Structure 1
Amino acid sequence: MTDAPGPESELTLTNVRPWGSAPRDLVLRDGIIAAIVQAGTADTAETHLDGHGLLALPGFVNAHAHVDKSWWGQPWVPYGGEPTTQGRIAHERAHRDTYGIPNLHSTVAVLREFLRHGTTAVRSHVDVDLGVGLRGVEVVREAAAALDGAIDVELVAFPQDGVIRRPGVLDLLDQAAAAGVTSIGGIDPASIDRDPVAQLDGLFDIATRHGTELDIHLHDGDELGAFQVELIAERTQHAGMQGRVTISHGFALGQLPRSRQVELVELVHAAGISWATVAPVGHPPLPWPAMRDTGIPLGLGTDGIRDLWSPYGDGDLLRVANDFARLHRLRTDAELAQAVAVASTRAAGFVHRPAHDLTPGARADIVLMDAENVPDALMRAPRRELVLAGGRVVTRSGTPQV
């Protein structure tokens, strides 16, 4: 039995329960799910793996991470600084060099943690600023290459310290876009740069010239946040960038009165904007049912993991999905399964996949775990017994194989 079939090989994953269904055999060919048949009926003359009746889910998609900033695998770093966005930025800038951030070792380590927990694709913001330049982009690319393609990594060049208030950052974002990052980012145009028009002018100019996407962190709350959502939606439509803009966090949407939420949900949908959340404890829930029913793409992410912003996080997106379910008071089995889908199938667009599921034609990213059904897996987050990425075993018994 071969654990890591080559790009031209065929593998049959036998006796698994996709989404908790009856047992099936999955025929994988060239890294793609070629067929799904009743268990015991696939031709297993080729290489095969016995799934032992385990629950099968699609690989998880981390729609919002910061893999360049973790100190995972290094000695513990005490939390410090002022607990505000501006305070966290200042603290990080003052201390990141002390801890060697960014560095290849920690970035590889945190990507391996993603794999260990079943995440097979990640959309990571990478700091681009006057102090670090484009070094973080280079480090993350090198880390992804070191794992030999086991995890798909898309990059967002992210101006954590602001754009307009730091002359030269727009040039760096332009360079990153020219160097092939998928997206460029922004952050709180009103409260960080105090000039939302100038920040959005600069970002949309770069994105339209280079054909990149945009992902804007929006921490500002209440009507200040709502105002910026409106500006971003207007710019998106004016630039013809529907389907290419994401708002991350967007705490304001959960803080506003119901009638105002409805207005913004309709506006975001009309502009074709996606939304990424980390389901933060202590923040009001998003109007998720309205977002879901309207068709706004919603992705879950881990945000930073053991970095100078927060000591929390272990890279397990299933735990983030659990937080999402608790925050939004999901209870029924159908609702709990939807939370897991937000962490997997529903996030396909964040990593540019037309489909990401246990279906023929989809990339063979598969997670097996010992759970009765999907709600049970969400509640317990059991060990990932087997993780396949592109038809290749990348994690076995909770241990990465790359």
Structure 2
Amino acid sequence: MWIRDVRPWGGDPCDVRVEGELVAEVVPAGAARSGGAGSGPEVAGRGRLLLPAFSDVHVHLDSTRLGLPFRPHTGGPGVWTMMLNDRAHWREAEVGIRERVTDTLGRMIARGTTRVRSFAQVDVDARLERLEAVLEARETHRGRAEVQVIAFPQAGLLREEGSAQVLEDALRAGADVVGGIDPCSLDRDPVRHLDIVFGLAERYGVPVDVHLHEPGELGRFSADLILERTLALGMQGNVLISHGYGLWDGSESRTRELVERLADADVATSTVAPGGRQNLPLELLVEHGVRVGLGEDGQRDYWSPYGNADMLDRTWQLAFTHGFRRDDLVEHCLALATRGGASIMDRDLPRLAGVGDRPGLAVGDRADLLLVAGETPTAAVMDRSGDRTVLHRGRVVADGLELR
């Protein structure tokens, strides 16, 4: 397949040849001959930007209400109260959970996301029902996206009898990652909580992803315990701290020390670009080689009305909440939303090498690609055009926001 007249990361017009799943050749536009024996299909670039496809590494597909009538928010403050609100209502949706999860994943792919890391809540109420819905959606879209599923104990592991067993059942049922959440503030026994999570990770040979909403010193204490277990079990490159709001409100020296420790242990982090909270030190993190990914979190669900299946929109939000104006910093947000997240899902991919690193489109890279209209990458983030073509593993899977 030839992709004609595209501008990789906003550079000079090129023609790109895809062979199988890989980028095989990149030449100046018009330099490669058309037709001839063995020639394949062509994709019209029309001067659009060529970017790596998006990687959403923090999304809760199992709670989505995208495409359903708008529902006023009824959740209260705090993780436990919000969880109870979700538990009370998620079965009442106008369509079943399997249908709405599959639909939302399709919307994400159509908008340019071909790598997804989704949580699936497993607890004594839902048991494996929500997990099974995400696994089914993954199978439906198997040829269009790569999906990792996280067994997520949203209600904690110690507050309700049987929670730890349900988490293990989820791993046996096909979950790819074991989750944890607020070991101090939710379960109030961080050692026992993390021993369960890391014990299951070691037993089943899976990565770990811990939601960490805890503030200040409490959050840093939990992070210390996570780093300790990562190193003790040799799990470098297989652990991620999600959110981590409270990790970055200390002194500059403490922030730098924590960044260095995350880099040494190859513990990644992900953000959903929240407003009104302490921002991640994105430049410092990439300077030290910490893997950072972006995600949409909920999708207009029982937790919040935000989320629209569009990672280009969330990239704008990441740049906006960090106050970025320079083109290189806005483009860095694009790099995080694409190859930054991809390096979390596939630790064999190199970490971003710096704010100016623009990987993912070289010969030999897997052809997970997004063509999108825009004068420059920064303009594309600001304008968020719907003129998009999406490739996964060298095959066109969506065009004009419609699945193929």
Instruction: Tell me which interval the TM-score lies in, with the shorter structure as reference length.
Output: over 0.9
Q: What does the per-residue CA deviation read over 1:248-273, in whole Å, with 9 as the maximum and x for residues that have no partner? A: 00001232222221222222222220
Structure-1-length-normalised TM-score: 0.93
Could you say which residue in structure 2 is the equivalent of 1:252? Answer: 246
The answer on 1:51 being equivalent to 2:45 is yes
Q: For residue 135 of structure 1, report the CA deviation from its aligned partner.
A: 2.0
Within the candidate set 279, 284, 288, 1:285 is matched to 279
The answer on 1:110 being equivalent to 2:113 is no
Could you say which residue in structure 2 is the equivalent of 1:400? Answer: 403
Q: For residue 113 of structure 1, report the CA deviation from its aligned partner.
A: 1.6
Within the candidate set 189, 196, 210, 2:190 is matched to 196
Q: What does the per-residue CA deviation read over 1:17-54, in whole Å, with 9 as the maximum and x for residues that have no partner? A: 11011111111121221211121123432221221111
Could you say which residue in structure 1 is the equivalent of 2:181? Answer: 187
Q: For residue 240 of structure 1, report the CA deviation from its aligned partner.
A: 1.2
**Contact kept in structure 1, 2:66 and 2:308, CA below 8 Å:** no
Q: For residue 375 of structure 1, report the CA deviation from its aligned partner.
A: 0.9
Gaps of 5+ in 2: 350-358
Larger displacement relative to structure 2 (261-270 or 247-256) = 261-270
Could you say which residue in structure 2 is the equivalent of 1:263? Answer: 257
Quick one: distance in 1 between partners of 2:157 and 2:63? 19
Could you say which residue in structure 2 is the equivalent of 1:92? Answer: 86
Q: How does 1:123-134 map to 2 (within 5 A)?
A: 123-134=117-128
Q: For residue 148 of structure 1, report the CA deviation from its aligned partner.
A: 4.1
Paired letter, 1:385: R
Could you say which residue in structure 2 is the equivalent of 1:374? Answer: 377
Q: How does 1:223-238 map to 2 (within 5 A)?
A: 223-238=217-232
Could you say which residue in structure 2 is the equivalent of 1:364? Answer: 367
Quick one: distance in 1 between partners of 2:149 and 2:378? 31
Paired letter, 1:185: G
Q: What does the per-residue CA deviation read over 1:326-371, in whole Å, with 9 as the maximum and x for residues that have no partner? A: 2222221111111110001222222216447112222211111110
Could you say which residue in structure 2 is the equivalent of 1:214? Answer: 208
The answer on 1:42 being equivalent to 2:22 is no
Could you say which residue in structure 1 is the equivalent of 2:21? Answer: 31
Quick one: distance in 1 between partners of 2:235 and 2:380? 37
Could you say which residue in structure 2 is the equivalent of 1:7? Answer: none
Quick one: distance in 2 between partners of 1:372 and 1:300? 24
Paired letter, 1:32: L
The number of aligned residues is 391
Within the candidate set 287, 293, 298, 2:292 is matched to 298
Q: For residue 101 of structure 1, report the CA deviation from its aligned partner.
A: 8.5
Q: How does 1:139-158 map to 2 (within 5 A)?
A: 139-158=133-152
Quick one: distance in 1 between partners of 2:339 and 2:34? 28
**Contact kept in structure 2, 1:117 and 1:384, CA below 8 Å:** no
Quick one: distance in 1 between partners of 2:257 and 2:400? 47
SS in 2 for 1:262: helix
Within the candidate set 156, 161, 165, 2:159 is matched to 165
Paired letter, 2:284: A
Q: What does the per-residue CA deviation read over 1:284-312, in whole Å, with 9 as the maximum and x for residues that have no partner? A: 21122211111110000000101110111
Could you say which residue in structure 2 is the equivalent of 1:22? Answer: 12
Structure-2-length-normalised TM-score: 0.93
Q: For residue 163 of structure 1, report the CA deviation from its aligned partner.
A: 0.8
Paired letter, 1:247: I
Paired letter, 1:36: V
**Contact kept in structure 2, 1:253 and 1:287, CA below 8 Å:** no
SS in 2 for 1:344: helix
Q: What does the per-residue CA deviation read over 1:105-131, in whole Å, with 9 as the maximum and x for residues that have no partner? A: 111111122112211110011111111
SS in 1 for 2:56: strand
SS in 1 for 2:214: coil
Q: What does the per-residue CA deviation read over 1:74-101, in whole Å, with 9 as the maximum and x for residues that have no partner? A: 2222210213222211111111222279
Gaps of 5+ in 1: 1-10
Quick one: distance in 2 between partners of 1:285 and 1:342? 15
Larger displacement relative to structure 2 (199-208 or 80-89) = 80-89
SS in 1 for 2:45: strand
| Alignment root-mean-square deviation, CA | 1.6
Paired letter, 1:212: V
Quick one: distance in 2 between partners of 1:66 and 1:107? 9
Quick one: distance in 1 between partners of 2:144 and 2:178? 24
SS in 1 for 2:275: coil
Does the C-alpha gap of structure 1 residues 102 and 171 become closer, same or farther in structure 2, counting only changes over 3 Å? farther
Could you say which residue in structure 2 is the equivalent of 1:348? Answer: 342
The answer on 1:319 being equivalent to 2:313 is yes
Quick one: distance in 2 between partners of 1:155 and 1:148? 13
Paired letter, 1:79: H
Identity among equivalent pairs (%): 38
Q: What does the per-residue CA deviation read over 1:315-334, in whole Å, with 9 as the maximum and x for residues that have no partner? A: 11122122211222222111
Q: How does 1:45-84 map to 2 (within 5 A)?
A: 45=35, 46=39, 47-84=41-78
Within the candidate set 377, 383, 387, 2:386 is matched to 383
SS in 1 for 2:262: helix
**Contact kept in structure 2, 1:234 and 1:271, CA below 8 Å:** no
Paired letter, 1:375: T
Paired letter, 1:200: L
Paired letter, 2:292: L
Larger displacement relative to structure 2 (99-108 or 314-323) = 99-108
Paired letter, 1:107: V
